[in-house]
Structure 1
Amino acid sequence: MTSVLPKRLTGGRLFSLVEALATPHHVDRYLELLDPMATVRDMRAEVTAVHKSTDDTVTLTLRPTRHWLGFHAGQFVQVGVVIDGVRHTRCYSPACSQHRNDGHIELTVKAHPDGLVSQYLHRNARVGLVVDLSQASGAFRMPNARPASVLLISGGSGITPVLSMLRTLVDENYRGQITFLHYAYTEQDVSYRAELDRIAAANDNVNLVLAYTDQQTGGDLHGFFDQAHLDAAAPWHRDAETYLCGPPGLMRGVRELFRDIDLEDRLHTEEFAPPVVATEDATGTASFSTSGIESANAGANLLEQAEAAGLTPEYGCRMGICFTCTSTKISGCTKNLRTGEIDNDPDQPIQLCISAAVGDVEIAI
């Protein structure tokens, strides 16, 4: 049989033709019917192991497709799952070393009471489950020239990015001082406890400090972070670079103390909780000009206001991390709910999930 394709229609040109014939769906939509991991453009990952180390967390080992480019310790990925026919995406930080040699990544997901994706993964994750996966991103990472000493502070599910940093440093045979200070309600709430004990026992430069907020026995420290905790955990903290990830209360306490002792420039943070929105004295109108829809400013972040108005802007983390919900503010004033900064300039990109209207505002949605 003689081919009806021109002799030079190969490679990228052939793929473009196939995609055109597949319209309105791209090729991956058809390939996934045969094998969800057989993709051309999309990146996915298959769950290869599932482990529950605490009652409300699940640790997943994932094998990404060939598109995976790796990550730096501290960065995050977006994981997507389909729930009741709708695809939902959330951000999680790999907990493994960036030098893991089998190409897999490890994520630990805490099942938050109102967490749609986290609850789904906690209940339903199993070996063979295929999820959507993004390339790693995020600025929360150590410099390539490692600091002379490192203080890692975490709380709850914030343990994952700093544990990745610890594992990475150990794999690199880093010899500087490391303190790993982790806060949990009780000893039963500490993820990776056996792994942390093993690392501390095998490396004389690693100091593991466990602080329990709701348990007065066991552990090394009790109660909430303060100057006494900092001095006890890392008396050399002024010469260290500090990396912090945890719940809002811990984040606030550490930031305030580091500001008071003039060490803000040595504190590097990542947070996985949405900022609290103050709704009092909200005025003005939020105009979503592309859709021709307006709504009274209710004081919520602009992503929630757009959704309440019946719009469906793209989003990922809903916490100001992934930038998926970035849109253009055409005019008006917005407040960054994470930093408190006010933006009056027109035609500026803003993250809807951490931006609130201050009076009238027009957004290109």
Structure 2
Amino acid sequence: MVDLVNLVQTLTTPHPLDRYLELIRPMLTTRVMRAEIIHVRRSVLGSVTLTLRPTWQWTGHNPGQYVQIGVVIDGVRHTRCYSPVNAASRRDRHIQLTVKAHPEGLVSQYLYRNALPGMVVDLAPATGVFQLPEPRPDRILLVSGGSGITPVLSMLRTLAEEGYPGEVTFLHYAKSPEVQPHRPELAQIERTHKNFRVESRYTSYGSGYFDYDELERVAPWFADAQTFVCGPPGLMDAVRKIFEAEQLADRLHTEEFTLSVAPVEVGEAFGTVSFAASGVRAENDGAVLLEQAEAAGLTPEYGCRMGICFSCTAVRRTGCTRNVRTGETDSDPDQPIQLCINAPVGDVEIDI
């Protein structure tokens, strides 16, 4: 079959076979993976839940992983990362995504407003190290906030479908019940699984703060558990501080969907950025390399813009860059770096 596809690809040069097939039917592909939106639900203010039917190349996901979705907006293809919320063992192979429409989110706003059944999007294989381990631990604590609910909800649903016998606590933080997605599903899981505990906290009600006392209330056994956390920086920092103080950092697993930037030191923004492959040079303004490249008129590939998906990786030929998430600097020559989370420190040559 592979040899036949390669032969047809050769015969259809200069365009790949998929370029011709998509003119007939976008989901009819030989190599490129896509997905068709078959159901759209806008039951929660500010969020949309999409059910996708992927092409034959889809091999599934592990609970907690993410996928890249690509959409064309005003003639330009944009990709973003979203975590499936469905259990990993879904028999129909469909993927369910819940997308929160962030105020500055181009793709999330587009999907929230325009997604309809029949729309076809690009799809990349599931990836990411934030996932449930094998074998399953005896106790599991899941903590999420805002749109960070998506990967841990997939974990919870997977454990429920597996008939997981251990103790599970799911603690979620949201502004209000009206904006918390999947509340009926969470209530149903807790009703049907007596070893599962589901807790919600709402910041608008004054109950949106994570501390040691809260941790003791919802999971007094947390020191013996494996804990998985995804949410905004404030929540992530609060959880990390407690686990580090209790010397339990090795039992904490985290995923961040927002970019927490280390402060820029005075005097760091100097020198020139040279985009070697394009012959373009620009004065360093202190922004990350992806933003500086775009400001110089270049269009490097990117996905999440948060250091998650590695779509914007390019080789730094010379110079020093600072990781804006950690504050660490690196100046080893000819190293691949992520453009979206690295800013130049002085003169830098990057191969784009």
TM-score (norm 2): 0.96
* Equivalence for 1:250: 235
Q: Describe how 1:137-148 pairs up with structure 2 within 5 A.
A: 137-148=127-138
* Cα distance, 1:14 vs structure 2: 4.7
Q: Which amino acid is the alignment partner of residue 247 of structure 1?
A: P
2: CA distance, partners of 1:146 / 1:105? 23
* Equivalence for 1:314: 301
Contact 1:277 1:300 in 2 (8 A): no
Contact 2:262 2:325 in 1 (8 A): no
State the secondary structure of the residue aligned to 2:122.
strand
- Of 169, 190, 205, the match for 2:195: 205
- Of 49, 57, 80, the match for 1:59: 49
Q: Describe how 1:346-361 pairs up with structure 2 within 5 A.
A: 346-361=333-348
2: CA distance, partners of 1:14 / 1:192? 45
2: CA distance, partners of 1:204 / 1:14? 53
1: CA distance, partners of 2:70 / 2:250? 35
* Cα distance, 1:340 vs structure 2: 2.6
Two-structure CA RMSD over aligned residues (Å) = 1.4
1: CA distance, partners of 2:114 / 2:322? 38
* Cα distance, 1:207 vs structure 2: 0.8
CA deviations over 1:229-258 (Å, ceiling 9, x no partner): 111111111111110111122122222222
2: CA distance, partners of 1:145 / 1:335? 38
Q: Which amino acid is the alignment partner of residue 22 of structure 1?
A: T
2: CA distance, partners of 1:33 / 1:118? 26
Q: For structure 2, which runs of at least 5 residues remain unmatched after alignment?
A: none
* Cα distance, 1:208 vs structure 2: 0.7
1:237 matched to 2:249: no
Contact 2:174 2:208 in 1 (8 A): no
* Equivalence for 2:64: 74
1: CA distance, partners of 2:165 / 2:246? 27
1:340 matched to 2:330: no
Contact 2:84 2:151 in 1 (8 A): yes
2: CA distance, partners of 1:55 / 1:20? 49
User: 271-280 or 53-62: which moved more?
Assistant: 271-280
* Equivalence for 2:141: 151
2: CA distance, partners of 1:277 / 1:131? 34
- Of 126, 131, 138, the match for 1:136: 126
Q: Which amino acid is the alignment partner of residue 301 of structure 2?
A: E
1: CA distance, partners of 2:310 / 2:303? 8
* Equivalence for 1:195: 185
2: CA distance, partners of 1:337 / 1:233? 34
Sort the Cα spacing of 1:145 and 1:46 in 2 relative to 1 into closer, same or farther, 3 A.
Answer: same
1: CA distance, partners of 2:198 / 2:32? 40
State the secondary structure of the residue aligned to 1:119.
helix
1: CA distance, partners of 2:72 / 2:277? 28
* Equivalence for 2:258: 273
* Cα distance, 1:29 vs structure 2: 1.4
CA deviations over 1:26-58 (Å, ceiling 9, x no partner): 111111111111001100111111111311000
State the secondary structure of the residue aligned to 1:214.
helix
Which has the larger Rg?
A: 1
* Equivalence for 1:96: 86
2: CA distance, partners of 1:13 / 1:164? 37
2: CA distance, partners of 1:13 / 1:303? 39
* Cα distance, 1:13 vs structure 2: 4.8
2: CA distance, partners of 1:359 / 1:287? 11
Contact 2:262 2:326 in 1 (8 A): no
* Equivalence for 1:285: 272
CA deviations over 1:260-288 (Å, ceiling 9, x no partner): 22221111111111233645432222221
How many residue pairs were aligned? 350
User: 19-28 or 197-206: which moved more?
Assistant: 19-28
* Cα distance, 1:202 vs structure 2: 0.7
* Equivalence for 1:219: none
Q: For structure 1, which runs of at least 5 residues remain unmatched after alignment?
A: 1-10, 217-221
1: CA distance, partners of 2:103 / 2:212? 32
* Equivalence for 1:3: none
Q: Which amino acid is the alignment partner of residue 182 of structure 2?
A: Y
* Equivalence for 2:213: 228
Contact 2:142 2:171 in 1 (8 A): yes
2: CA distance, partners of 1:317 / 1:117? 10
Sort the Cα spacing of 1:119 and 1:89 in 2 relative to 1 into closer, same or farther, 3 A.
Answer: same
* Cα distance, 1:23 vs structure 2: 3.2
2: CA distance, partners of 1:119 / 1:190? 17
* Equivalence for 1:4: none
Contact 2:148 2:232 in 1 (8 A): yes
Contact 2:143 2:227 in 1 (8 A): yes
Sort the Cα spacing of 1:13 and 1:96 in 2 relative to 1 into closer, same or farther, 3 A.
Answer: closer
State the secondary structure of the residue aligned to 2:321.
strand
1:297 matched to 2:287: no
2: CA distance, partners of 1:158 / 1:223? 15
- Of 68, 93, 110, the match for 2:100: 110
* Cα distance, 1:12 vs structure 2: 4.4
